[in-house]
Amino acid sequence: MPPSDEKMLADDLSTLAFVAKSSSPFKGLAVIFDLAGFSTFFNEAGDQEYVPTFLNEVLNTVRIAIGGGEPYWYESKIPARALEPPVHVKFLGDGALYVWKLPEDSAEAERLRIYLCNRLFNIHNNFEKILDHIAEEVPVVGLPPSIRFGVASGVLYELTREDGASEFIGFPINLASRLQSYCRGLGFIVSAHLGFTTDQLKQFGYSRVVATNVPGFPPQLVLVDENEYKKLDKEVKANLFREKR
């Protein structure tokens, strides 16, 4: 490798270093989504121009859920109002990470948690309609058939890289990642730390259960799609969950 190339590589690698001090801890919210079957789609898409088109369409649905607009995938007489924007967004290859600093105002924080979860829940439940819309631009057999969301809240820290970019670490990111991949039969698992009331669970169609085998975590109280959970095989339920007493 020529010396000039070695220097460029060394400069690029140095950007992965962090400054010595992290931010003060803050209460945050993390969302991670994953597209089931994306690797197969990527390998079989043929003309790879379809891959970014597909990703852009999916990311746009999440953008509308967060930033407001017309959610074409479910009936709504009123355009969705914009929510508090995330402080960090990161593409993960077959999905994405979104990080929020929760507003200090408790009413605004509750609004963000509840509205965001309900809108992501609607994306998950109406993903077939989203795929029908995408298929007009991506004429490929075998589009990723479903989207899985994991959501968690708690203490986060911001790290600053030497190039000035920010990264975030903490319990909610790790847990959200584990939850979105925890049960293949469920596409929406939310940490109960988000604070939904019993009345809200009934209103929005969630059930509160205990996830007993989340890798790297003790048993976690989580919220799931009530109808989807009822359809799980009994053996899957026994291995992964228990009813909350």
Predicted pLDDT of residue 140: 80
Residue 122 C-alpha from the chain's centroid: 13
Give the pLDDT confidence of 142-161 residue by residue, as tens digits: 889 999 999 999 999 988 87
Catalogue all structural domains in the chain, each as residue range(s) with its CATH number. 19-243 (3.30.70.1230)
Predicted pLDDT of residue 124: 94
Q: According to the 3-state scheme, what is the secondary structure of 41-97? A: HHHHCCCCCHHHHHHHHHHHHHHHHHHCECCCCCCCCCCECCCCCCCEEEECCCEEE
Give the pLDDT confidence of 209-234 residue by residue, as tens digits: 999 999 999 999 999 999 999 999 99
Predicted pLDDT of residue 161: 78
More confident residue, 166 or 131: 131
Amino acid in position 225: D
Give the pLDDT confidence of 178-216 residue by residue, as tens digits: 999 999 999 999 999 898 899 999 999 999 999 999 999
Using left for φ > 0, alpha for ψ between -120 and 50, and beta otherwise, residue 17 falls in: beta
Q: Are strands 241-243 and 206-211 parallel, antiparallel or unpaired?
A: antiparallel
Predicted pLDDT of residue 45: 57
Place of tokens 């999440």: 62
C-alpha distances in Å from residue 92, one per residue of 18, 97, 229: 20, 7, 27
Measured distance CA(48)–CA(67) in Å, rounded? 28
Cβ pair 18, 161 in contact under 8 A? yes
Measured distance CA(132)–CA(118) in Å, rounded? 21
Q: Tell if the pTM clears 0.85, that is, is over it.
A: yes
80 has pLDDT over 90: no
Show the CA angle centred on residue 56, arms to residues 55 and 57, nearest 5°.
90
Predicted pLDDT of residue 118: 93
Q: Could you tell me the maximum CA-CA distance found in the chain, to the nearest angstrom? A: 66
Predicted pLDDT of residue 7: 41
Give the pLDDT confidence of 6-64 residue by residue, as tens digits: 444 445 555 667 666 666 889 999 999 999 988 888 776 555 778 889 999 999 999 99
Give the pLDDT confidence of 82-122 residue by residue, as tens digits: 999 999 999 998 899 999 999 999 899 999 999 999 999 99
